[in-house]
Amino acid sequence: MHIHILGICGTFMGGIAVLARNAGHRVTGCDANVYPPMSAQLEAQGIELISGYDAAQIGLAPDLFVVGNAISRGNPLLEAILAQNLPYVSGPQWLADNILQGRWVLAVAGTHGKTTTTSLLTWILEEAGLSPSFLIGGVPQGLNISARLTDSAFFVIEADEYDTAFCDKRSKFIHYHPRTVILNNLEFDHADIFADLAAIETQFHHLVRTLPSNGLIVSNGSDGNLARVLARGCWTPIEVFGITADAEKGWCTRNVSLSGGFEVSLNGEIAGAVGKFALSGDHNRANAVAALIAARHVGVPLPVGIKALESFAGIKRRMEVRGVVRGITVIDDFAHHPTAIRLTIAGLRQKVGKARILAVLEPRSNTMKLGTMKAQLPESLKDADLVFCYGENLGWNASETLAPLGETAKCFDQLGELVAAVVSAACAGDHILVMSNGGFGGVHKKLLEAIMHRDG
């Protein structure tokens, strides 16, 4: 079958493309914006990419069009598909109908940490010899691809609450029918499609309603919003994580070592110890524990899971070191929600101690462009030593918003001016933390090259 994918360079739809290719289909696709790592992944798979959404792509005559959720009415190719009554389906629906049926699906949901936790869980199952299929919104080091289809009974998926497609406004994760679910956390996000937190909670409640009684919910026990969701009705066993070390029940971490290792406790008793761990921050250790619990549900013993955590190498675009020049480290991270920004900076601070952190931020997500959470940004960024914000095409004034940070924060409408300011301020020993959910104009490379060639 020939499948043509609209919006193929998004992290989810790019994964769909790889799975379809693995399943033996001919895959082509189109998108408006192309940037690594997804573009490189698709090219390596031999998938043909077309720039733009010209209606002439109808002439490719595929057997099926798979439409990503970034595609809206008015898109010329979509309008041609509808006008000619050609067969189309959303990405999540195609996945459910053609890949997930008959498999034990392990889904990772939540506002933050989905990519990291999904990667950790996939790595644990891989190291345990289960060779899982997976679809992740990022590229784990060691696996080096965001999606894979195998003969395994297990499929690990990052379960997004964003809407499915122009024709289906349910959350993507409603289509997956998982047996094991991790609920990391729940906050208001995606202000472009959800009116308020209650609307998102309802979607999570719908997910919980699809879970079988022989499944498992691995839930953040310290998240009141998740507790409210589960109180609306739950027919599946629950194990909780992320609670305090002296709690009488549930999983948690404690006694973090200089190498990043930590102890794992259950119901107040030591259950195991991770000797070393590549990811920093309390939130990432909680992600790791959630992955351990989910892996146990499919039969992976805790010691095997812990050993796998010790060999986990990280994820592209999640605290990924892009280079070190003249003693200055440039780090790439996907953080864009205020909470994720705060946690990312806090995790880096735990790792680098008193070394300076230069936060370089692009508020690019739909929610951030709307300014819904702009008031939270100063608090999220306060632990950085300097802040550089790229404010092009925002619907609000970034300088006014970050004014509470005083002279430590500077805002720019031109990328070249931002790069020059960061390079001028950076000194040996500094860590430049770049945070964006997009390509950010290749700013990482620009920074490294400018530092290399600067005077002094």
- Note whether 120 and 141 are within 8 A (CB): no
Q: Is residue 65 part of a domain?
A: yes
Whether residue 122 sits in one domain with residue 67: no
Domain boundary among 48, 63, 90: 90
Whether residue 251 sits in one domain with residue 106: yes
- CATH number (domain holding residue 32): 3.40.50.720
Strand ranges, E, within 36-167: 48-51, 64-67, 88-90, 104-109, 133-135, 147-148, 154-158, 163-165
Whether residue 124 sits in one domain with residue 271: yes
Residues 270, 127: Cα–Cα separation, whole Å:
23
Structure tokens at 253: 């971490």
Which amino acid, residue 203? Q
For position 243, what pLDDT does the model report? Answer: 61
Whether residue 276 sits in one domain with residue 328: no
Domain boundary among 26, 58, 90: 90
Whether residue 330 sits in one domain with residue 271: no
Q: Is residue 96 part of a domain?
A: no
For position 264, what pLDDT does the model report? Answer: 93
Q: How far is CA 173 from CA 109, 170, 220, in A?
A: 8, 8, 18
In this prediction the pTM is 0.82
Residues 347, 175: Cα–Cα separation, whole Å:
33
Q: Is residue 97 part of a domain?
A: no
Whether residue 394 sits in one domain with residue 266: no
Strand ranges, E, within 78-236: 88-90, 104-109, 133-135, 147-148, 154-158, 163-165, 168-171, 180-183, 216-220
Q: Any idea of the CA torsion for 343, 344, 348, 351, to the nearest 10 degrees? A: 60
pLDDT by residue for the chain (456 residues), tens digit each? 999 999 999 889 999 999 999 999 999 999 997 666 667 778 888 899 998 999 999 999 999 999 999 999 999 999 999 999 999 999 999 999 999 999 999 999 998 889 999 999 999 999 999 999 999 988 888 888 889 999 999 999 999 998 999 999 999 999 999 999 999 999 877 777 788 899 999 999 999 999 999 999 999 998 999 999 999 999 999 999 986 555 557 899 988 887 789 999 998 889 999 999 988 888 899 999 999 999 999 999 999 999 999 999 887 777 888 999 999 999 998 877 888 898 889 889 988 999 999 999 998 777 677 777 788 899 999 999 999 999 877 778 888 989 999 999 999 999 999 999 999 999 999 999 999 887 788 899 999 998 988 876
Domain boundary among 281, 310, 339: 310
Q: Is residue 356 part of a domain?
A: yes
Whether residue 242 sits in one domain with residue 132: yes
Burial class (CB in 10 A: 0-12, 13-18, 19+), 395: exposed
- CATH number (domain holding residue 135): 3.40.1190.10
Residue 303, preceding bond cis, omega within 30 degrees?
no
Whether residue 346 sits in one domain with residue 306: no
Closest CA to 138 of 285, 251, 287, 302: 287
Pairing state between β 48-51 and 26-31 = parallel
Helix H or strand E segment including 252: strand 251-254
DSSP string for residues in 255-313: ---TTEEEEEEETTEEEEEEEE-S--SHHHHHHHHHHHHHHHHTT--HHHHHHHHHT--
Q: Is residue 110 part of a domain?
A: yes
Residue with tokens 């690019």: 364
Whether residue 343 sits in one domain with residue 262: no
Q: Is residue 211 part of a domain?
A: yes
Cβ-count burial 303-341 (b if 16+ within 10 Å, e if not): ebbbbbbeebebbbbbbbebbebeebbbbbbbbbbbbbb
Whether residue 245 sits in one domain with residue 131: yes
For position 443, what pLDDT does the model report? Answer: 92
Closest CA to 63 of 125, 20, 127: 20
- Note whether 37 and 43 are within 8 A (CB): no
> How many H-runs (helices) and E-runs (strands) does the chain carry?
15, 23
Helix H or strand E segment including 377: helix 377-381
Angle, CA of 34, 133 and 165, to the nearest 5°: 50
- What percentage of the chain's residues is helix, strand, coil (to nearest 5)? 35, 25, 40
Based on its alpha-carbon atoms, the radius of gyration of the chain, rounded to whole angstroms, reads 22
Whether residue 66 sits in one domain with residue 155: no
Whether residue 258 sits in one domain with residue 127: yes
Helix H or strand E segment including 388: strand 386-390
Number of domains in the chain: 3
DSSP string for residues in 133-167: EEE-SS-BTTT-SSEE--S-SEEEEE---SEEETT
Angle, CA of 348, 354 and 357, to the nearest 5°: 50
Q: Is residue 315 part of a domain?
A: no
- CATH number (domain holding residue 327): 3.90.190.20
Residues 434, 317: Cα–Cα separation, whole Å:
10
Domain with 290, as residue range(s), is 102-310
For position 244, what pLDDT does the model report? Answer: 55
Q: Is residue 280 part of a domain?
A: yes
